[in-house]
Structure 1
Amino acid sequence: MRNPCVAHRGWSSRAPENTMAAIRMAIQDPDVEWIEIDVHLSKDHVPVVIHDPTLRRTTNGKGEVKNLTAAELTSLDAGNWFSQKYQGEPVPTLDQVLKETVGHCKLNIELKTNGIRYPLIEQKVLECIQLYKAEKEVVITCFHEGTLYRMRKLSGIIRTGLIIDGWRNTLPKELKELSSDFLSIAYTKLNKERVALLKEAGIQIMAWTINEKRAIRKVAELDPAILICTNYPDRWHEVRQQTVSHR
């Protein structure tokens, strides 16, 4: 198996998702080529790394991310919910993540917007990326096509990709119209015919979120270039090792 590994929200099975602890754990594994993270904007328009629009599930805070400043968000505890070992682990900013990942690991940055929430998100995320000259080390993904269009308009260099949990045969055409060459898709929606259609159109595929070894193996068999997005990079390692030993 040659499929690259994408650590979903960092190494999120071993450390609290979207924290520097989970991200550093993924960086330290030289075989993990990608990390996927989620980005919202703070009240003062700073890109912060957290999955939900609300704070309750993964922090000791309450309310919505957009209603707190970056200083307030980064003072929250984003680790204790996962384990006491990570008590005090803060919500990181995108700036902090890029500072440690550039030159070590590629980033899939998902913008958590529906096109209305965070009207400045594309600009602010782009400014962060440009600060670290990381334009060629990231791909920007989103469920919202208009967001991808705006990002491409702001930067003709940064790759963009659509996120989808379904399938339609018009996807290659839609991605071409968006000048996107990346598709982040629920792994259960993939089969040989769909993979062939996407590959023919020059689209890189990331399959999410694959946590069972049997499913990792099944997706890998579709095509060796499919990125395997998982909470368990260790299981990806196991499947890869088993594949090598069976040759």
Structure 2
Amino acid sequence: MTRAFGAIGPTIAPPDVHRDARPRRRVAFDPPRRIVRVLAGAVGVAAVSTLIFVLGTPTSATAIDVFGALRGPGEPALIIGHRGDRAEAPENTMPSLELAMDRLAYVETDVQLSRDGVPMLFHDTDLERITGDPRSVGDLDAEQLDRLDVGAWYGPDFEGERMPTLERFLEALAERPDARALVELKADWTNDEVLTVVGLIERFGLRGRVVLESFSLETLFAVQRVSPTTPRIMLIRELPADPVPLAERLGLVGFGTTAKSVTAQPQALEALHEAGVAVLCYTLNTEDRWEEVGALGVDGIITDEPSELDEWLAVTAPGT
């Protein structure tokens, strides 16, 4: 089986205001709260320094360490299961995630914080589509979230499925030596909130097997500050014409972007590969899209149809 923003200049400065990662309405700027959050960030940096001292200084991972040799035009990309294997089980549930972990090079999932700070696997900004509850993950404590049914919407066979914690997911990942994961941190995360995730990765011995990713610059800077050796990817809808300075500034092993972005600017993909940075495309579910980006040499395809993509690659790239 195959194991498979607009442009930003290179002089970005890391933001110094750390908003809560949980989805919420924006509030008026509050100077005292800002000071408190900045101080909390400083405490987070001290905490991670202690963690690194105890565990030993890790070695930074490169894109090749994480994804293998970068692809050339026409070479088969890694298959990455989007929120697990959504074609077979409800997204971001353990059945879906375990199917992907057992069959694929990578599984992708999403993390948000509950009201009491527990990392939970869920994608949407509210719970309506999956559970019928109009509230968000950040409105409820983990215990309340555990009472919600996140499988019945998909079909009767999955009625009663509960929202997994990141801890439960990482435990299952650790039981599968060949499994790896892309974990998207939704919205903006502070230093201390990122440390919660990094601490779980370390506890389960998954350093190098879990790649953190985000659309949020604030979150990526937080990861860089508190755990600079953790592999990270920037999710971005449109690659800059020259994305290499941005990758270097953030210490990225890769970008996750759209097929439209890659096909519009193939020179950006080439420049990133020359710099040793990977490029993944999301979320592609049709043969024409797979062929389009594969011809350019993307390194990974995030898909809702991993089995179909695997079969397609078996025919179009025999031996993979």
- How is 1:52-63 mapped onto 2 (pairs within 5 angstroms)? 52-63=124-135
Q: Secondary structure in 2 aligned to 1:220?
A: helix
- The count of aligned residue pairs is 241
Aligned residue runs from structure 1 range 210-225, under 5 A:
210-223=284-297
Residue identity in the other structure for 1:106: R
Give the conservation status (yes or no) of the 8 Å contact 2:184–2:214: yes
- Aligned partner of 1:11: which letter? D
* Counterpart in the other structure of 1:243: 316
1:47 matched to 2:119: yes
- Which of 191, 197, 206 aligns to 2:271? It is 197
- The residue aligned with 1:101 is 173
Q: For residues 37 and 222 of structure 1, do their structure 2 counterparts lie closer, same or farther at Cα, with a shift above 3 Å needed? A: same
Q: Percent identity?
A: 26
Superposition deviation, residue 60 in structure 1: 4.1
Is residue 15 from structure 1 mapped to residue 89 from structure 2 by the alignment?
A: yes
- State how 1:142-161 maps to structure 2 within 5 Å: 142-161=214-233
Q: Write out aligned runs for 1:67-86 (5 A).
A: 67-86=139-158
**What is the CA-CA distance between 1:155 and the residue it aligns to?**
1.0
Question: Residue 121 of structure 1 aligns with which residue?
Answer: 193
Identify the range of structure 1 (162-171 vs 228-237) with the bigger mean alpha-carbon deviation: 162-171
Amino acid at match of 1:213: E
- Whichever residue aligns with residue 210 of structure 1, its letter is L
| Amino acid corresponding to residue 153 of structure 2 in structure 1 | W
Q: Name which one, 1 or 2, has greater alpha-carbon Rg.
A: 2
Q: 1:53 and 1:134 mapped to 2: Cα distance?
A: 28
Off by >6 Å, runs of 4+ in structure 1: none
2 CA distance for matches of 1:96 and 1:36?
Answer: 15
Q: How many angstroms does 1:172 deviate by?
A: 1.4
Q: TM-score, normalised by structure 1?
A: 0.92
What are structure 1's unaligned runs of at least 5 residues?
none
TM-score, structure 2 length as denominator? 0.72
Structural RMSD (CA)? 1.7
Structure 2 residues without counterparts, runs of 5 or longer: 1-74
| Contact 1:10–1:36 (Cα < 8 Å) also in 2 | yes
Paired AA for residue 85 in structure 2: W
